[in-house]
Structures are given as C-alpha cells and as structure tokens.
Amino acid sequence: MSGLHSIAAAPEWLISERRDTALLEDVLGEPWEVKHCPATRGVPHTDFANRRMAVPSGGSDLSRVVRHHELLHALLSPSHVPEEYIREIGLSPRSVHLAEEIRINSILKENAKGLGLKISAFKDGSEMNEAKNAVASNDLDHAIHLMCASIATGSETSVGRILFAEFPELKKVKKVLKSKMREYWQRNSTYATGVYDDKGMAHAIPRGFVATLGVAQLIEKLWRNDGEDEGEYLDRINSQANNMVKSTTRANPWGSLVFGSVPLTESGNGFLSRSRSASATGRQPRRLHRLISDPDRKVFDRVARKRGGIVVVDGSGSMSLDEEDLKAIVKAASGCTVVVYSFRHEPNEPNIWVVARDGRFVSQDEFPPIGSDNVVDLPALEWGVRQRKDRKDPVIWVSDGQVTGISRYTGKDLDIECAQFIHKHKIIQVKNARGAVEVLSEFARGKTPHSPQFVGDIKVAAKELRLLD
C-alpha cells in the first residue's frame, strides 16, 4: 500500500503494478487525465474506459480520504465488468457496485493508520440527512442501501442509529452481513489482482473481486421485489433477518451435484482393482497366524483382479480437455467408474455425468459438454469415494488443482478441504489426461502407485498442513 502515500493522484503508476495486465491493455502505460472535483458524495470517480479520474486535490482530511479511495479503485477494481455477466450469475449492478464500495472502504479503513488517514472524515452530514429521509418516507429499500454504503466509513454508527430506530430488523441483517463479509475476506485475498479465468470464459476478473461477488450475493437478497408491497417486503426482510441469525454454521462454498445422463453403449474389459484372499497354496506365507486357527492352514495370499476403481475428472475450462483426452482416460480406465464434472450457472443444469461404469462406457459422440466452471470439486470427490466397492479401490482425481466454489471464488479454505479429503481417503491426484493414463496403466499392469498424491494449489495446502510424506 506504500504507493498510496503520494498526495497527487497518479493512477497509471498503480495500474502498472497490477497482475491482471492482460485485461488492462487499453489503459496500461497510457497517461490518465486527473481532474479536480469537490469532495461531495457521488462526484469523485474513476473511469477506466476513458482513463479519467476526478478527485479533490486539497490537503484536508476529507480530500485525502476520498483521493485514496479512488486510487484504491485504480489499484484493485476490475477495469470493466459487463452487465450481461453480472446478470448471468444472478446479480444486479446495484448490488455489485455497493459490494465493491464496501470492499474498497474496508481495505482503506484497515490501512488508514499506516497512511495517516482519518476514516471519520468520510462523514460530511449528507448521509445523516439521507437516513432521516429514508425513515420519514418509510423507504426500507433505500434504508438498506444506506446501511450497506455506510459500512467501514465514519458514518456507520450514526447512520445505523437513525435507521435501526425505525427498522430494527436491519440491525440483525447488518450483524450477519458483516460476519459473512469477514468470512469472504478470509477465503479470498481482497488485495489480489491476479486473474482467475477459465479458458474460453468471456469475462475474466481479478481474484480479489471474487470476494465482492460473494458479498453482492448477500446484498442481492435484501432488495425489494417487483410487485412486492411494503408490508410483504417488511415481513420478508424480518423473516430473513431471523433466519440469518439462526444460521450459525459456515455457508457451504460448494455447489450441489446435478447428474446428467449419457448412454453407456460401448463395452470393454479391464481390471484395475485387486482383492486378496487366503489360500492354501502359494510362494510366500503371509498369514502365519492361520497355522493355529485355520484347519486348512491357508497361510498364503491369492490376489484376484477385479473391476473397480473410481476416476473423477475435472472438466472445467482451465483443464483444456477435449474429446480425445476424455476418450483416452475412459479407455485406460476400463472397468472403473468414471465421472466428469463441469458447472454451468443455470438452475438445475446438469454438472456431473457418469461416462463409464461396470465395463460399459459412453461413445465419443455422446460425451457431455465440458469447459465451464468447477464449483462442485469436493462434492464430486465425495460422491466418487462413496462408490468404492472395496475400501482399497483406487480413487484418481484428474484436476490441475484450481478448485473454485460458488460465484467463482477461490480461497485457501477450499484448497485445505480438498487436501485433507485427499489425504484421508488416499486419493491420487493427477494434473492432466496424460498423467491419468499413466497412472491407470500402472494399475492395469498390477502396480500400485503411491497415494495420496497432490497437485497445484492443493499440493501447496497439503505442504502447509504437513500432509506430504
């Protein structure tokens, strides 16, 4: 944050330090036009498209706070978030804009002391008048907007005092909202400008902005619905407030599995799993205790090859899998249960498909659609483990380790959950189709590769948790 100590606004300097340079080609290295404006609420702004910034240039506490606020937008906010993308994931621009203001204000408040800023300077009196007007007109929708907009600013307490007197249910909402915000902040690096972008995804965004989308989802539920009268709206918000307070468990970051169906019309023979049983003949006795307990003295092991094993394939865009890759995996996994998952942001849209089971598999012409998001990584793994016919059946996860949850956010907690699950169930993670075929070929030759195995960010989490041998 040291670059923000300058009194003069120089957004091009800050932009050059960002990691999402591929998204900033139109503004990277180009000079910006910085204009003076009054420190009036709503007037200062940052315009990436036209490389313009309007900020107050004075040395007052308010001018400095506002200036740093806009510079943070230049340092961290997306250069452009298309409205169709926002609609696609079920949000309104209003919620996203408000959530991003909360993120920027929260970061500014966190760093205010080191920057020599007074966050209380944000309070200019206009927000108090707006709160009083919202109460006088019984406008709950506007009250919610003001409550959210005041978070992490100097007016948070005073605005809340006015609003909560008329709308006491908002006090519960704000308490839970801030709690959930902290949760999102912990899951995601709010400062990150590196890009999370699946191959082929139309709208890449900085990683830190993913935390904004999580908060926007919470805010979106609070707006008044079309056709909802004042009484219905008030009852719904009151009900939501009570339900939010009752919910003390962490929100599930993963999506739910929705199975699609593809015909398994092809057949093949393969045996990746093995079982051991006692035998009276053999080369090396391994069950010497049976000399006393077993009249038949079955002290040897007999190893039988059998169908079994699970292969879970990440079909998200970052994997860059094509039909030939899937065909190679399915062919090498003959005798296994093979599932492919890829999440699409449509209600009840299938996101996981069984493409091979019990010696039968899907033809290449019937492969399911892939190349979208993750979202169900851990639920898919959990389902796979439950399909084991024997606890020793191998489970192979074909994934590059770039797991994501709902709203396309990433976070260490997701990596940790997956690493712990892999370790507990001795799952073998491989990063691509080629690695999967190699491991499956080893099993087919009767060899047992080392497990568990980790890849990418999951391996980093496993190392921090000291799960690596």
pLDDT, residue 276, reads: 57
Give the pLDDT confidence of 167-205 residue by residue, as tens digits: 888 888 888 788 777 766 665 566 666 665 443 333 567
Both tokens of 6, joined, read: 């300058």
Question: What backbone torsions phi and psi does residue 465 show, to the nearest 5 degrees?
Answer: -85, 0
Both tokens of 351, joined, read: 């996101």
Residues 200 and 159 in one domain: yes
Residues 192 and 268 in one domain: no
The reply to whether 301 falls in a domain is no
- The count of other CB atoms within 10 Å of the CB of residue 322 is 12
Q: Which residues contact 55 (CB under 8 A, 6 or more apart)?
A: 9, 34, 35, 36, 37, 44, 63, 66, 67, 70, 71
Give the pLDDT confidence of 45-91 residue by residue, as tens digits: 988 878 889 999 888 999 999 999 998 888 888 877 777 778 777 88
Residues 161 and 264 in one domain: no
Residues 37 and 122 in one domain: yes
Q: In angstroms, rounded to a whole number, what is the distance separating the alpha carbons of residues 173 and 140? A: 13
Both tokens of 177, joined, read: 């909202």
pLDDT, residue 161, reads: 93
Assess whether pLDDT exceeds 80 at residue 19: no
| Mean pLDDT in residue range 313-340 | 90
| Mean pLDDT in residue range 445-457 | 88
The reply to whether 290 falls in a domain is no
Assess whether pLDDT exceeds 90 at residue 366: no
- Length of the chain in terms of residues written: 469
Residues 128 and 209 in one domain: yes
Give the pLDDT confidence of 29-43 residue by residue, as tens digits: 667 888 999 988 889
Residues 223 and 372 in one domain: no
Q: What DSSP state is assigned to residue 69?
A: H
Give the pLDDT confidence of 233-276 residue by residue, as tens digits: 778 777 766 665 554 345 568 888 999 989 998 886 644 444 45
Q: Which domain holds residue 362?
A: 259-272+307-464
Residues 125 and 62 in one domain: yes
H or E segment to which residue 276 belongs: strand 273-279
The reply to whether 285 falls in a domain is no
Residues 264 and 128 in one domain: no
Q: CA angle, corner 152, sides to 146 and 158, nearest 5?
A: 55
Q: In angstroms, rounded to a whole number, what is the distance separating the alpha carbons of residues 222 and 38? A: 32
What total number of domains does the chain contain? 2
Sign of CA dihedral 113, 114, 116, 121: negative
Q: In angstroms, rounded to a whole number, what is the distance separating the alpha carbons of residues 27 and 167? A: 44
Assess whether pLDDT exceeds 90 at residue 399: yes
Residues 169 and 82 in one domain: yes
Q: What CATH number has the domain bearing residue 317?
A: 3.40.50
The reply to whether 297 falls in a domain is no
Residues 312 and 225 in one domain: no
Assess whether pLDDT exceeds 80 at residue 336: yes
Residues 339 and 417 in one domain: yes
The reply to whether 81 falls in a domain is yes
Q: Which residues contact 254 (CB under 8 A, 6 or more apart)?
A: 375, 376, 377, 378, 379, 405, 406
H or E segment to which residue 52 belongs: strand 52-55
Residues 266 and 361 in one domain: yes
The reply to whether 446 falls in a domain is yes
pLDDT, residue 437, reads: 93
Percent of the chain with pLDDT over 70: 77
Assess whether pLDDT exceeds 80 at residue 287: no
Alpha-carbon separation of residue 110 from 78, 106, 114, 119, 396 (angstroms): 21, 6, 9, 10, 43
Q: What DSSP state is assigned to residue 319?
A: G
Q: How confident is the model at residue 231 (pLDDT cuts 50, 70, 90)?
A: confident
Q: In angstroms, rounded to a whole number, what is the distance separating the alpha carbons of residues 22 and 227? A: 43
pLDDT, averaged across the chain: 80
Q: pTM of the full predicted structure?
A: 0.54
The reply to whether 207 falls in a domain is yes
Q: In angstroms, rounded to a whole number, what is the distance separating the alpha carbons of residues 400 and 360? A: 27
The reply to whether 313 falls in a domain is yes
Residue with tokens 């006015």: 162
Crossing angle for the helix pair 433-444 and 323-332, to the nearest 10 degrees: 10
